[in-house]
């Protein structure tokens, strides 16, 4: 089991941002991720910075912790420009970047560029084309391709990623098409549980749903001729009926992580505490979990 954190991009760099990201490395987290949105929910009218510049700054002041997005989507991204940014970020970080990627939703990002929100079918169609083209762009020096939604004309990505053949994709998916993309292109799979259970479900129901997701991931891998053991299985916490209770104490975390390890989860991601928000947890408990949690789980 690995333990990681997600730091929302809300901090002015020279006031608090630098210290928050450096502290994540000092605490021994495997990875420190950030959201890739232009605005998000209750933070829409609060400070919110860009994911790629934030991760680039974090890469410059850290040396070990892996860095990435949870998650990037096609809502306001294009594969050609995103590939160039990711290649550059992987270079600055010395090969520590992982791309969390998903199909996106219907929130603010879905219409901010002036378009109508896409239907679920169109989101799935776009996502499949987006991932396939992004894979090609990050593994080939020059790419020309014209699809239904995305095109590249002699797009150059030289010298390519530090990580070979490219930086890893962590694909967020629960449906058949998304799981198929995970099996084909992913080095990791991401889940937040079953959204339908968030408001009125129970932790037991949530774990049963995640067990089903893991089983379907295995079926998708079998259909693609791939060993599911090759994939890391990442759980972003805070969106199941447990909400933030795993951060109530070290014991609460150990119980939560142990139950999800039994389901096949290999990496738990905790939100960095944010006062007066849905992620308002005790910073001291958070740091104790970071430094003691996995040792107790192993014991």
Q: Report yes or no: 240 and 204 within 8 Å, Cβ to Cβ.
A: no
Residue 177 tokens read as: 């098409």
Burial 102-120 (b: 16+ CB within 10 A, else e): bbbeebebbeeeeeeebee
Residue 35 tokens read as: 């959201």
Concatenating the DSSP letter of every residue in 171-213 gives EE--SHHHHHHHHHH-SEEEE---GGGTTT--HHHHHHHHHHH
Burial 231-243 (b: 16+ CB within 10 A, else e): bbbbbbbbbbbbe
Dihedral through CA 205, CA 8, CA 32, CA 111, nearest 10? Answer: 80
Question: What DSSP state is assigned to residue 103?
Answer: -
Nearest to 104 by CA among 73, 150, 149: 73
Q: Report yes or no: 102 and 186 within 8 Å, Cβ to Cβ.
A: no
* pLDDT beneath 70, residues of the chain: none
CA distance 214 to 167: 23
Nearest to 228 by CA among 218, 213, 220: 218
Instruction: State residue 107's pLDDT score.
Output: 87
pTM for this prediction: 0.97
CA distance 179 to 187: 12
Query: For residue 207, is it left (φ>0), alpha (ψ between -120 and 50) or beta?
Result: alpha
CA 18 to chain centre: 21
CA distance 176 to 174: 7
CA distance 215 to 273: 32
Nearest to 1 by CA among 254, 287, 271, 283: 254
Instruction: State residue 116's pLDDT score.
Output: 92
Instruction: State residue 274's pLDDT score.
Output: 97
Instruction: State residue 98's pLDDT score.
Output: 98
Which is it for the CA torsion 54, 6, 133, 87, positive or negative?
A: positive
Find where tokens 């680039």 sit: 56
- Name the β-bridge partners of 100: 170
Instruction: State residue 82's pLDDT score.
Output: 98
Query: For residue 151, is it left (φ>0), alpha (ψ between -120 and 50) or beta?
Result: beta
Instruction: State residue 297's pLDDT score.
Output: 87
């Amino acid at each position: 089991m690995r333990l990681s954190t997600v730091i929302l991009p809300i901090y002015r760099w020279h006031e608090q941002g630098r210290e928050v990201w450096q502290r994540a490395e000092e605490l021994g987290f495997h990875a420190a991720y950030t959201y890739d949105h232009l605005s998000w929910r209750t933070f829409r009218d609060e400070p919110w910075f860009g994911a790629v510049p934030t991760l680039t700054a974090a890469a410059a002041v850290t040396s070990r912790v892996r860095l990435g997005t949870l998650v990037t989507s096609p809502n306001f991204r294009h594969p050609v420009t995103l590939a160039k940014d990711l290649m550059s970020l992987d270079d600055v970080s010395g090969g520590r970047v992982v791309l969390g990627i998903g199909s996106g939703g219907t929130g603010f990002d879905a219409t901010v560029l002036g378009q109508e929100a896409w239907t679920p079918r169109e989101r799935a169609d776009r996502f499949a084309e987006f991932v396939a083209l992004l894979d090609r762009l990050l593994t080939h020096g020059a790419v020309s391709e014209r699809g239904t939604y995305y095109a590249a004309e002699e797009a150059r990505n030289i010298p390519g990623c530090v990580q070979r053949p490219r930086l890893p994709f962590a694909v967020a998916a629960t449906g058949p098409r998304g799981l198929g993309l995970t099996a084909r292109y992913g080095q990791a799979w991401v889940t937040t549980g079953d959204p339908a259970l968030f408001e009125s479900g129970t932790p037991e129901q949530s774990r049963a749903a995640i067990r089903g997701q893991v089983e379907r991931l295995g079926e998708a891998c079998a259909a693609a001729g791939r060993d599911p053991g090759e994939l890391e299985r990442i759980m972003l916490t805070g969106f199941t009926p447990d909400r933030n209770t795993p951060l109530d104490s070290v014991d609460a975390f150990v119980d939560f992580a142990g139950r999800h390890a039994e389901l096949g989860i290999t990496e738990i991601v905790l939100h960095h505490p944010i006062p007066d928000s849905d992620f308002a947890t005790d910073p001291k408990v958070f740091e104790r979990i970071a430094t003691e949690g996995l040792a107790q789980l192993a014991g």
